[in-house]
Structure 1
């Protein structure tokens, strides 16, 4: 993207991450003595195109005050919602009250601390003039099976054209806000921002990212993320 147009990041961080089987939300678990959420925010804030971050926190979040943050961009705090889409919607509403223009917004998972600046650059460059926006993803390389309720294999699914959706997901502030509100009003379940944009009748673009942009979901992911961060720091 020429001129490095400024963008805002939105981080929904109100979830509890039950699959981690931990006593605290997964975004506050430690990787090399730093909370996952802090690593994620620092990675976003240190990118030169990020003008500010809006984070959506649970109302009873007792761990947030313990973070030692010194970010190089503006930080706004929105109220988290029942679902991810509610948290993102609340964050977008706060941002609309805070600024007058309609910037690109990068919605990024709180539990993806290994996002590379190169992947943000790829999104900004690829989507700069896109009418809709798009998301970061990885082509599916494994053989994919569909099973029934008893885990009996029903078929092998052709993986051609299949991608694993990741984040950031990059859309203009106003259309994304409208799409999320519309989906909520129609009681349509959306698992990511692209789903809402698709339901609004648009086609987002897929941008290929690095496979080390993992989401912390199960306990062993913490060690894997620590390894990836060390590799990235070493220039690998």
Structure 2
């Protein structure tokens, strides 16, 4: 398959903070009767320019086949690693082995825990990156006052200082880069604890004149991490009241 745009969804983690009761990783937690992973993949499929969505799960994952059954342009591969960066690196290698991408293919990496990605935000990112021939990511400007804690994060901590919020953005996904650029950046930064997303790898390994674009995202695209986040998303689904296409 030759494609100019593909999407990768790293889904090999366990999501311990989400508090799943049935032992399944959080990407399989049901939201509106469907696994969160299915919502996230369907959001990517809303843009017909994405030729394929490739989901990278942990080896031996017993849930992916059922969770993704029947979705068009979607494959899942048991190539996930112990970290997000390693999973994305493995997914890139796997896609190259399948002839699903070349170095100049655009790759959009999207969190399984962001099931509410709006179609217009996805389109904004694709349009911005293609029109400027530069990688980028969805993000939101910081609106709240930012405090740095003096203690390790917990239910409460002492304030060390207040940080200026001007120019600060909260990173979201998808994060979109040429496959060759992303692969080279992840390889160059392998094991670096500063790499917490694809953009940070590109920032560390790339040239300053190729700094990623910040493209305005959406609150609906917030990451679901804590148990109360899932209740918030369920409320959004109930408020919409629209039938979900399977």
Under a length normalisation based on structure 1, what TM-score does the superposition of the two structures give?
0.90
Partner residue of 1:211? 219
Matched residue count: 228
Q: Quote how far apart the aligned CAs of 1:215 are.
A: 1.1
Give the one of 111, 128, 131 matched to 2:130.
Answer: 128
Q: Quote how far apart the aligned CAs of 1:75 are.
A: 2.0
Partner residue of 2:202? 197
**1:1-236 mapped onto 2 (5 Å cutoff):** 6-22=4-20, 23-67=23-67, 69-97=69-97, 98-99=99-100, 101=102, 102-149=104-151, 151-184=157-190, 187-189=191-193, 190-202=195-207, 203-230=211-238
Q: What SS class does the counterpart of residue 175 from structure 2 fall into?
A: strand
The alignment's C-alpha RMSD in Å is: 1.8
Q: What SS class does the counterpart of residue 79 from structure 1 fall into?
A: coil
Following TM superposition, the consecutive aligned residue runs of length 4 or more in structure 1 with deviations greater than 6 angstroms are none
**CA offsets 1:34-67 (integer angstroms, 9 cap, x no match):** 0000111122123211100111111131222332
Q: Is the 8 A contact 1:78 1:94 kept in 2?
A: no
74 and 62 in structure 1: CA distance in 2 versus 1, 3 angstrom threshold? closer
Farther off after superposition, 197-206 or 11-20:
197-206
Cα distance in structure 2, aligned partners of 1:135 and 1:173: 15
Gaps of 5+ in 2: none
Q: Quote how far apart the aligned CAs of 1:135 are.
A: 0.5
Cα distance in structure 2, aligned partners of 1:210 and 1:20: 22
Q: Is the 8 A contact 1:46 1:71 kept in 2?
A: no
233 and 52 in structure 1: CA distance in 2 versus 1, 3 angstrom threshold? farther
Q: Is the 8 A contact 2:27 2:35 kept in 1?
A: yes
Cα distance in structure 2, aligned partners of 1:171 and 1:45: 18
**CA offsets 1:170-198 (integer angstroms, 9 cap, x no match):** 000111011101111xx312110001101
Q: What SS class does the counterpart of residue 67 from structure 1 fall into?
A: helix
Q: What SS class does the counterpart of residue 125 from structure 1 fall into?
A: helix
Gaps of 5+ in 1: none
Under a length normalisation based on structure 2, what TM-score does the superposition of the two structures give?
0.86
Q: Is the 8 A contact 1:46 1:72 kept in 2?
A: no
Q: Is the 8 A contact 1:51 1:74 kept in 2?
A: no
Q: Is the 8 A contact 2:60 2:78 kept in 1?
A: no
Farther off after superposition, 170-179 or 43-52:
43-52
**CA offsets 1:71-112 (integer angstroms, 9 cap, x no match):** 221425250001000000111111222235321111000111
Cα distance in structure 2, aligned partners of 1:120 and 1:99: 21
